A and B are shown apart, each in its own frame.
Chain A
């Protein structure tokens, strides 16, 4: 029975993993269609306020980038190149491939995102645990207030406030993070990006802990004379982390690749700027690359949540499939 369950679970996870493929096909298709639905050529300088070029010249440049082919052909070529790890050439940054553009900027964004995630998880969960352990104490209220602020305040508002306090008022840290090689430039963007997730982690941990602490098994454990510490960390925490794991996936996906709002405000040299510039300049290959990167990150993060779920809660190992139970 048990073996059967874990087999079912593995099959389910495999199906989920394979399910990423059709999802990616659909979202790249929609993006592709939406991009081409926007009128105008990416190579028409007049669209960006430049002098207009003769249509023949534009057509010639388009042909050079393969835009004269039919749409299905273009899409298939994109997929074919993608499978070889080639994301094509950028239209806007002439003479540079998308792979080159991203290899410079993606690591920066990823580093910022992961730092923010670790900061949020590493501080948020302990804060939630402490708040729940001392329910209704001053500390608990403080954590609740902090998590309310962190959840409600958008990261670019937090960014502005952080810059004003730490860069302009106290002059402790640089306001801009252009020089990413200097670690002190990492601090403010990391906090700005991580504060919201931190608040969410703290809140879910606290709520989960309080839920579990009210459970019968805790009363039994207390009656057995187990120490409060053993109950808290031995039993309650693991069960309480379940909802935290659920939200961790989407948060990792949202934060893991940085945030272009935070990147813009702090002038972080990450890939966030392409978010905007690529769409304004109709830089198709870059747009597609971003969709692929963000989309697959999101899908993988959700898959990771599913894997963690089975590990944390044995009950879901069997009833993993999406059918109604």
Chain B
């Protein structure tokens, strides 16, 4: 399920570390007596960041809850209890029931499934499109670069949400279509970021040397450039996931996202905001679920970025 194969990451960064020209973290590069790999360093720094660790645990909890949804919310998201409409939180219904007598807890857990699927799915596709194109544009330059950046600039000129709404009304509602529509936007920042990094790396000695030795372009991109921009990509993805989750919530809030009986935190807020005076919990709990998830992902992303690039840490 993870977007990048872990062994590839390890191999990549270690190779970088062994190359003095490409060592990127200036703060921590003096040799430790007990040799620690770059990833060991990252983990060491990450572990010291309490907020990041708490957030990571929270993210894991959400993932576990979403995966184990049938176990933790056995009633399911469509079950209706007509005797308990708009009931407040109780032992039977932990978070109460909505206007149709459905278990709010179950709907939030299943809504989490939707959120995570979209968040991870979108970033997966965004990486697959944005990274190769960014590498290509940055490394080749010239006409290829012009063409790719033209496309990126044009798509950027669209108001993002309007573009997504338009795509959704064209594709039709549903989780898969949300992933497609959001991926078409999600690769843009990745592509730009990768391109910018590659341009600054392109003229460095180790790339020049590889070129002079006649190493094929593809191999230079894969073995020399990619490992150096991996931490940038990881950071971008860790911020891209909550962004995609938010966009899904916004689309479903409007009513062009998921297909109705399926719950989404966004549609739950919009369905229930009308009843905020009489049943405050209906809009609050899904809003909190979304807010806490966003918060956890963002805080974890912050910690991860600081751990990957100590210079950025404050």
In the complex where A148-B302, A152-B298 touch, is A298 in contact with B157 (Cβ < 8 A)?
A: yes
Determine whether the beta carbon of A152 is less than 8 Å from that of B295. yes
**Which residues of B in the span 141-199 have a Cβ within 8 Å of any Cβ on A?**
141, 153-154, 157-159, 161-162, 165-167, 169-170, 199
Nearest CB of A to B291, in Å: 4
Contacts of B297 in A (CB 8 A): 152
| Smallest CB gap from A140: residue in B | B314
Determine whether the beta carbon of B273 is less than 8 Å from that of A294. no
In the complex, B236 has a CB within 8 A of chain A? no
- Size bracket of the B interface: 35 or more
In the complex, B61 has a CB within 8 A of chain A? no
Contacts of B314 in A (CB 8 A): 135, 207, 210
In the complex, A324 has a CB within 8 A of chain B? yes
Contacts of A168 in B (CB 8 A): 276-277, 280
Cβ-defined partner of A161 (8 Å) among B166, B270, B287: B287
Instruction: Select the residue from B255, B290, B314 with max chain A CB neighbours within 10 A.
Output: B314
Nearest CB of B to A146, in Å: 12
Nearest CB of B to A278, in Å: 10
Q: Measured between alpha carbons, how far is A163 from B280 in the docked complex, in Å?
A: 10
Determine whether the beta carbon of A154 is less than 8 Å from that of B249. yes
Q: Measured between alpha carbons, how far is A130 from B249 in the docked complex, in Å?
A: 35
Number of residues on chain A facing chain B (CB within 8 A): 44
In the complex, A291 has a CB within 8 A of chain B? yes
Determine whether the beta carbon of B158 is less than 8 Å from that of A265. no
Contacts of A161 in B (CB 8 A): 284, 287, 291
The DSSP consensus for interface residues of chain A is: helix
Determine whether the beta carbon of B162 is less than 8 Å from that of A148. no
**Which residues of B in the span 268-314 have a Cβ within 8 Å of any Cβ on A?**
269-270, 273, 276-277, 280, 283-284, 287-288, 290-291, 294-295, 297-299, 302, 314
Instruction: Select the residue from A148, A279, A299 with max chain B CB neighbours within 10 A.
Output: A279
Some 8 contacts from A to B, beta carbons below 8 A apart, are A152-B298, A153-B291, A156-B253, A157-B287, A160-B269, A164-B280, A164-B284, A279-B256
Residues in A lying within 8 Å of B, measured CB to CB: 23-24, 26-27, 30-31, 34-35, 37-38, 135, 148-149, 151-154, 156-157, 160-161, 163-164, 168, 175, 207, 210, 253, 260-261, 264-265, 275-276, 279-280, 287, 290-291, 294-295, 298-299, 324
Closest 10 A/B residue pairs (Cβ)? A294-B159, A152-B298, A157-B291, A152-B295, A160-B287, A157-B287, A152-B294, A23-B157, A153-B291, A276-B254
